[in-house]
Structure formats: structure tokens, C-alpha cells
Amino acid sequence: MAFELKMPKLGESVTEGTIGKWLKQPGDKVNKYDLLVEVQTDKVNTEIPSPVAGTLKEVKVEEGQTVPIGTLLAIFDTADGEAAAQPSAAAVQPQAATTQQPQGQPAPAQTPAAAPKPSQPAGVPPASGRAPSERGPSVPPPSASRPSAPEGAAPASTRAAPPPPQSPSPAPQSSGAATATAERPDLSDVRATPAVRKLAGENGIDISEIEGTGLGGRVSRKDVEDFIAQRQSSRQQAPTRVVQAQPQAPSQSAPVRQAPVPSLSGDELVPLSQMRRAIANNMVQAWSAPHAHAVMEVDMTDLMRYRERVRGEFQEREGFDLSPAAFIAKAVVEALRTVPSVNSSWTDQGLIRHRELNLGYAVALGDDGLIVPVIKDADGKSLAGLMRSIRDVVDRAKARRLTLDDLSGGTFTLNNTGPLGTVVSSPIVPPGQAAILSSESIRKRLVVTDEDAIAIRQMMNIVIGFDHRVVDGSTAARFLTAVRDWLQSAGTSVPVY
């Protein structure tokens, strides 16, 4: 049976991918989960595993070509790999089972296992009545397995007809148990972590109804949260989505109206890289939120003295330096605990208050662009733990070794522009978050102290950019105050480990 492999969705806001290298060639035997092709995106380079076992029959996209999500990449012959194939190939098994059922007793034993697949087309409308209509464009990632279900639907329905005349007793079972087994047994095929399954169970959601956006259709926590929000939205008001579409039209059409570009002698057109194009799209999307900014000074003198006292031992123990960035990240974490409303996201249905604290850390990649890996569960890390995580994501970002998981799930972003020498910047809030903090360069300045004396102090500006739909000016000021106070007091004696 032919199986079509399509370009999966490789992450949030990723709309296309470039074929870097085919790891298998036409005619090669491929086992399920064998690494098949290297795909380059604006965010990461990743290797896509084969979702089926069989023979690679034809490659549709050559190396170096850039194609959108959902594009047909290759065709497999799964005739010799149906045991390990995905539901698309597994749909063939019920056909063989039904033809063999009249031969003997094994048929009834196979009927419950085979029944879910023929009944799957019948069960699709209820599930798809929610998922596709609500998720829309997110259908392409699992297209490697989903389209094959309709292909097998017609033959399966014609083959499914024989079971009722075959034996009267199993027929009621196949009708009642088929719908149950059409969903429940397939739960083991759904790729998701235990935590994600638990979240779905706590909200009474059948995880098999959720279209996964991860590799191979993996269901992520964000997929479940989006499904919950969309389900609530559909229950409340159907017209709300119509209202949302109207304000989006100007923002989408705005980038089309470009200012005239002068044509001068010696001009050179530099093609847009995937990363540059993605940055442009993300920034336009981010700027659709009403932005506001606030600035506050921080006296870093005592903290820098404390850092000098502990950095030698840290360097000897860890093998790398203890950067001020670790102290700033720790201050942000503690401030988010003090002002939790900043760790939120805007939706038309309401504000989502995040319990997890995942800190995005902006990393500049020179002229290539900017990338924001995420430090998960930052509130559970010590000062040394944060320093290790910062060094890890920065090193892997510059080496282009970040994974898709490294770039997802951020709830707040820290933009440490200090090493670049800036004094005041105007950071843009990443889409899906409520705020971002920039920590500027630490500079010695003449300062008038509380005792009316003039002293040389090491001063730093911190700037918060915030979505004014979620965060008000007073809340932003409280957050900056919490960051400043921690750096000027607790930060001067915080345990490193």
C-alpha cells in the first residue's frame, strides 16, 4: 500500500521547511522511526523519523528546496511493513481480517481489534466536528496518517459489511464496542507525555481527539490548552470567531502596503533567510498587541561586589564564569512570584494565568538574527542552576543545536542587552506572552546617595515592555520594583547553590 509522507508542522509559527539531506534513498528499506530526512527551519534543524515501515519508493522534494507545511515529501510502499505502519497502513489489516473471518474461529478474536479501524471513518465526524473546525490549519502535521484514513474508509466500509452476516452475536459488539475501541485502544498510539495525558484527563478530554502539532503528531501541553480554550469558545458563542476575523484583516493587510524603496546604483538584493522572514512575521504579529514600556534604575554596586567574592569558587567548580545574567534571571523569577499577573497570556475568552514559569532567554546570532530558547521551570532553579541553563541554551543556540522543545512553552522573556552596550532599549513582547524585560549595560555613574553625598555607583537600567491588554502601568511598575529590590538586597547574599 502506498503511504504519503508530508511536511509536518515543526513548531509554532513555522510555515515552511527546507530539505537539508535525505538520509534514505529510493529503494531503501526503512523501519518505523528510522531517521529519514533532515529539515531546516528558521528556528532549528531537525531530523524527521519515518512514521511507517516499508520501502522508500519515491522522493518528491529534492535537497535544498523549501516547501510549505503539508507538502508531499515522499511516497512509501508499506506492503512489507504493515505490522509497524501507522493507522493509514493499519487500515489495510481490517480488510484482510474480514476476508479471512469466514475461515475459522480466529476471525471473532480479530474482529474487536479490526473493528476500530473500519469504524474509524464513522467515528471521525464527531471528533472532526470539533477538532478540524476549531484547529483549522493545524491539520497538516498529522496528514501523514490522517489522509490515509479516508482512503481506507471506502474499502473498509465495503469490507465491514460482511461481519454482520458472518455471525449475529459479534455484530452488537462491533457496533457498541467499535465506537469505544475506535478511540480508547488508539490512545496508546497517541504520542504524548504522561503530564500531557494527565492534563487532558483532568479536563475530561479524550486525547485522541486532539491534533498534535509536534513531530509525528505528538500532542503537547499547548495543544491541550488550545483545545480547552477553543472548546470553551465554541460553547459560549460561535459568532466570537467572526468578530475576531474582522480586526485581523487590517493587521494582515498592513504589511502589504510597503513604503517605496529607492533604486540606487550599486544596490544589492539580499534574499531573505528563513530566520529573517520568521522574525519579520513574528514581530508584525507581536506588534498587533498594544505595547507600553517603563524604565527603572538599579544600583548594582553591592551585587557586583558579591559576585566578585563568589565567582572564583564558581569558576573553579563549574568551569565557566558566573555572569550577572544569572542574578538578573533570578530576580525576574522572584518578581514573577511577587507579581504573578505578569506571567499571563491574552485570549479573547479571558486571561490565562500560567502556573509554570518558563523563562525565554533571547540569544543574538549576529547578522543571522535572533532566537529565544526557553528555560523550563526556571522558578525551581538555584542561581547556579540558572547560570548552567543560560550557558547551555546560548551555546546550543550559537551551534544551531536547539530542538523544537527548546523553543516552545515560554511564559516570560528576558532580553539581556547589557553585553551589547545599550543603555535603554524598547523590547517587543513575544506573541503569546504578556511582557518582556531588557537588562541594559552596567555602567559606573556619579549618583547622589540618600545621605546627599556624591558617589560612584554601578548602575543599570531595566526596561519592561508589556501588553497593555494584560498588564497596566501600575502593575508593570510593581514588577520593576520587585526586580530592583531583589537585585539591591536579596541578590547581594543569595546562595549560589
Any idea which residues carry the catalytic annotation?
A: 468, 472
The label of the residue with cell 471521525 reads 124
**How do 412-416 and 435-439 pair as beta strands?**
parallel
Rg (CA), the chain: 27
Q: What is the distance, to the nearest Å, from the Cα of residue 274 to the centroid of all Cα atoms in its chain?
A: 17
How far does the chain reach from its first CA to its final CA, in angstroms? 58
Of 379, 378, 341, nearest to 476 by C-alpha is: 341
Whole-angstrom Cα distance, residue 136 to residue 397? 31
Of 129, 117, 123, nearest to 82 by C-alpha is: 117
The 10 Å Cβ neighbour count of residue 33 is: 13
The 10 Å Cβ neighbour count of residue 161 is: 12
Whole-angstrom Cα distance, residue 19 to residue 73? 9
The 10 Å Cβ neighbour count of residue 463 is: 22
The label of the residue with cell 499577573 reads 341
Contacts of the segment 96-100: beta carbons below 8 A, 24+ positions apart = 98/159, 98/160, 98/162, 98/163, 99/159
What angle do helix axes 301-318 and 473-488 make, rounded to 10 degrees?
A: 70
Of 413, 374, 427, 52, nearest to 222 by C-alpha is: 374
- Coil, strand or helix at 310: helix
Q: What is the dihedral of CA 162, 165, 168, 170, to 10 degrees?
A: -10
Whole-angstrom Cα distance, residue 66 to residue 451? 64
- Coil, strand or helix at 47: strand
The label of the residue with cell 529565544 reads 372
